[in-house]
Amino acid sequence: MAKTKLVHRCADCGGSSPTWLGRCPGCGAWNTLVEEMAEDLARPWGPPAHRPSTAVPIAEVDLDQGRVRPTGIGELDRVLGGGLVPGSVTLLGGEPGIGKSSLLLQALGATPAGTRSLLVTAEESPQQVRLRAERLGALAPGLHLVADPAVPSIVAHMVELRPEIVVVDSIQTIFDPQLGSPPGSVTQVRECAHRLVGAAKEHGISVVLVGHVTKDGALAGPRALEHVVDTVLSFEGDRHHALRLLRAVKHRFGSTQELGLFEMTDRGLVGVPDPSGLFLSDRASGIAGSVVVPTVEGHRPLLVEVQALVSPTKLPQPRRSAQGLDAGRLSLLLAVLERRLQLPLSQSDVHASAVGGVRVVEPAADLALALALVSSRGDRPAPDDMVACGEVGLGGELRQVAQTGRRLAEAARLGFRLAVVPASAPDPPPGIRLLRASTLAEAIQVALVDTSR
């Protein structure tokens, strides 16, 4: 029997060290080395033996074998660029309870008739999955279920059943019995992913892996896991809000600029056809500190309400908080307002948020946030039918942002009639009038002071 040897392996990059170190010598990350058994290091690894493929001219590659397969979930297909590609491997990450398993179960249940799929559940019993499928209406006749966490058995099921789509829930709970390390370890996650990727490419099966995230929001496991898969999806959302956002962090078959929006209901996850209307549905009129900003997420324009509250404080260190906004941009705008416009804010608590549970971090929200701060500070509400978008420079000047026309067209569709924009902004679409300004001071004048409109 081989003698068991211990190594310390980095959870980020997968590098190893014979002794524990505070910092990984490979990637430089701190406190990521985990003790593991290394008795499997000498075992040769590789996918099952198969005949080598034949080189062909690139113009003769058969494109029909790479046609996407729609999942039947419109928002998911939007992010994937139409659906899943045969032979591809997709990694879906997100916090526990955010709805990853429900989303994939709904996708398997919504696949076109005649599609054969396999769901490998390594965290729940088949009875639990069956009950959820009944609740979500996902009892598709072509959906097969197996509760087997061993990778050799999973590959055997893939070869025997020959499904078009395989979902493994989750990559951190399956294991290879030939490896000595426990499930979820760096070695198990890396080796199991390689085995599944090899099986997917060999048999032309679309594989989706569910991945856990760390407390910092990063995908758990070695970074090599993200490199070996074709697509990395991030499923985000505030557990206290019903809104869920799906983004592509990496996508070899399409754009990473698309955004999928879902609402968590008692019937599962439902696509949001009009997210701007959802974000503004509960907006109150005549409230100081509220300004709407037209943002762009990927190729989709969204209207989001930005709120600010400025209140005097007697604390020696005033509080600053930003929810759904970039805290660095908030600090920058406060400095510009105090230095360029002589607006005293150093003795005030400042709280700012993007309403609806969505994050707005692009510089286009600078102008709306600055106007919301001034509106709250002076208790002067902005017009209800006004939007604002533009980047604020350190000198207080306003700069144009990309896709201004699409932003304003979405605002006009929802009934907004005024838009505060930089002076260099293009002509507006029909139905909306521009209030142009070269500096932040001018924007405040036309938006909050000039009431002759």
Sheet holding 16-17, edge to edge: 16-17, 6-10, 33-37
CA distance 385 to 371: 14
Task: Please state, in angstroms and rounded to a whole number, the distance separating the CA atoms of residues 90 and 100.
Answer: 13
Tokens found for residue 329? 């941009």
Q: How far is CA 115 from CA 65, 74, 227, 378, in A?
A: 16, 17, 29, 61
Tens digits of pLDDT across the chain (453 residues): 445 567 777 776 767 787 788 888 877 778 777 777 664 444 444 444 455 678 889 888 877 777 889 999 999 999 999 999 999 999 999 888 899 999 999 999 999 888 999 999 988 999 999 999 999 999 999 999 999 899 999 999 999 999 999 999 989 899 999 887 788 888 888 889 999 999 999 999 999 999 987 666 666 666 668 888 999 999 988 777 788 989 999 999 988 888 899 999 888 999 988 888 888 888 988 999 999 999 998 778 999 999 999 999 988 899 999 999 999 999 999 999 999 999 999 889 999 999 877 889 899 999 999 999 999 999 999 999 999 999 999 999 999 999 999 999 999 999 999 999 999 999 999 999 999 999 999 999 999 876 444
**Which residues are CB-contacts of 286 (< 8 A; sequence separation ≥ 6)?**
381, 384
User: What pLDDT, in 10s, does the model give residues 269-306?
Assistant: 999 888 888 888 889 889 999 999 999 987 789 999 99
Q: Return all residues near 352 (Cβ < 8 A) that are at least 6 apart.
A: 306, 307, 308, 309, 321, 322, 323, 325, 330, 369, 372, 373
Backbone angles phi, psi at 392, to 5 degrees: -105, 125
C-alpha–C-alpha distance, residues 184 and 234, integer Å: 19
Query: How many residues comprise the chain?
Result: 453
Beta bridge partners of 118: 144, 166
CA trace torsion 103, 108, 109, 110 (10° rounding) = 90
The single-letter DSSP state of residue 83 is S
Contacts 24+ apart (CB under 8 A), 42-45: 42/2, 43/178, 45/191, 45/194
pTM of the model: 0.79
